[in-house]
Structure 1
């Protein structure tokens, strides 16, 4: 179905004059005539009977005009919906984040996105970095903020945003409060809170314990916020994001001299993703974090 032919036909029906139709559509009169004849050939019917009063429809033309008008209106609605979608007036954006970036950045980013595009649906999936990467690969999510895992998928684009460091955190009422360094035997009778071992922080905690040959009681938790809450009781320690701990007045931490504890936070998306206006705006917000953080 050629929409342009139908629009020429509809306009000619409504103006009844070839010259007026050509002027309205920005076409030449021979082009208008060509489209009408082509439409008659397509359906093998006569559409107009011409006389001194202009172009008037045959019975077949009346029938075609009835349906052509509906098709034209549907096409206009489709084009507007697509344009609205591209401009962020409709549609959705599905975000993902691993635990630390979700708490550090997502609330403000989503707020700004919703302010700019109030009509689109925004969702956030908070899981471990490997799980977010897997969903991005399947294009079940549009983009995500994740802590680096050491592996990069070839089909994903990774844009570094900032770095973070893992520190040993504890409450200001804990026995470690006030200390700037620890002996290894200080940790033997401590309970270590760990974000689940499938997370990047959890995997690091496990390898760190093995490297130090430390045997500590370990409690795995799914929520970073739960770890922070449990630290406040002063009965446990945790290997956790320095940026998160710095926001908590009731907690303190000790840094270890180990470059392996420095990790990058990446903005990640599939390289074949269609870039919508809301996505492009969200990307600008995320990349703007670099300047704000520095």
Structure 2
């Protein structure tokens, strides 16, 4: 019995499917079947009930699954401790990012990290802030990069960068002709929002509340690209990160509406589970993110 065989067995058990497990593990389906057969031969019993649609653990398979999970966890812990002792940056790293960060900041960060630490396999999940928080809290992600204020307990957070926000309007909007306006000029506008759970949506809601704005009508879209395109099409206005609209401002598909006496910014945060032990790969990634804070303040 080998660690590789246990990894294959656990993956098949959790996905309940040979071909999906093979795809995830970058193995051929016959290779996955061979590992399972080897384990069944070693233990002298059937571990999986196979059908055309899915596989299911036998009673013996349930026992092996529980023990295999524990063995794999102990193996990873030992490997991380030895790597840390030897200062070897390898293994895997699971990173989550909210959409704005995942699309406009994380790619360059990951490219730099991969050049420095090619032995680390990085898995990235991009979702809205609420989704990334939930996954970090559940220890399904080692680290997350998100926008806005945290809503969950059991999470450590540190600010690493400030993000400038702007009010974006269509090129043909009546307010686009003004160099700047007061918040009051935004009364009774049609707004284009991100979905609830998005850091951008939370910021938008807070501004509207603080400025006491009446919203004539609102449209909700689940992507920043969708919001930008909808604003450019003339349907309404939106508050977005400057990162996300740079090209459309340059081509004048969108116009920036400056708000008198207001500097629109929000904080970006690095989050981790409170009681999760870090690996050397995670430590190096966190150091790189903290470097962004130093660069942005320098």
The two structures have a TM-score, normalised by structure 2, of 0.61
CA offset digits 1:183-232 (Å, max 9, x no partner) = 67854664311111222321343454455341322111111122223333
Q: Secondary structure at the match of 1:216?
A: strand
1:254 aligns with 2:295: no
Q: Secondary structure at the match of 1:280?
A: helix
Cα distance between partner residues in 2 of 1:285 and 1:291 = 10
Name 2:204's counterpart in structure 1.
205
Question: Is 1:187–1:216's contact at 8 Å kept on the other side of the alignment?
Answer: no
Name 2:96's counterpart in structure 1.
96
- 1:154-173 to 2 correspondence within 5 Å? 155-173=154-172
Name 1:66's counterpart in structure 2.
none
How far 1:281 moved relative to its partner?
Answer: 1.7
Q: Secondary structure at the match of 1:198?
A: coil
Q: Secondary structure at the match of 1:177?
A: helix
Name 1:110's counterpart in structure 2.
110
Q: How many residues align?
A: 214
- 1:49-64 to 2 correspondence within 5 Å? none
Cα distance between partner residues in 1 of 2:176 and 2:183 = 16
Alpha-carbon distance change, 236 to 195 in structure 1, aligned in 2, over 3 angstroms: same
The two structures have a TM-score, normalised by structure 1, of 0.62
Name 2:79's counterpart in structure 1.
82
Cα distance between partner residues in 2 of 1:225 and 1:157 = 30
Cα distance between partner residues in 2 of 1:149 and 1:113 = 27
CA offset digits 1:253-287 (Å, max 9, x no partner) = 22435779532111111233322222122112111
Please say which structure displays the higher CA radius of gyration: 1
Alpha-carbon distance change, 257 to 123 in structure 1, aligned in 2, over 3 angstroms: farther
1:225 aligns with 2:221: no
Question: Gaps spanning 5+ residues in structure 2: where?
Answer: 1-74
- 1:177-192 to 2 correspondence within 5 Å? 177-182=176-181, 187=186, 190-192=189-191
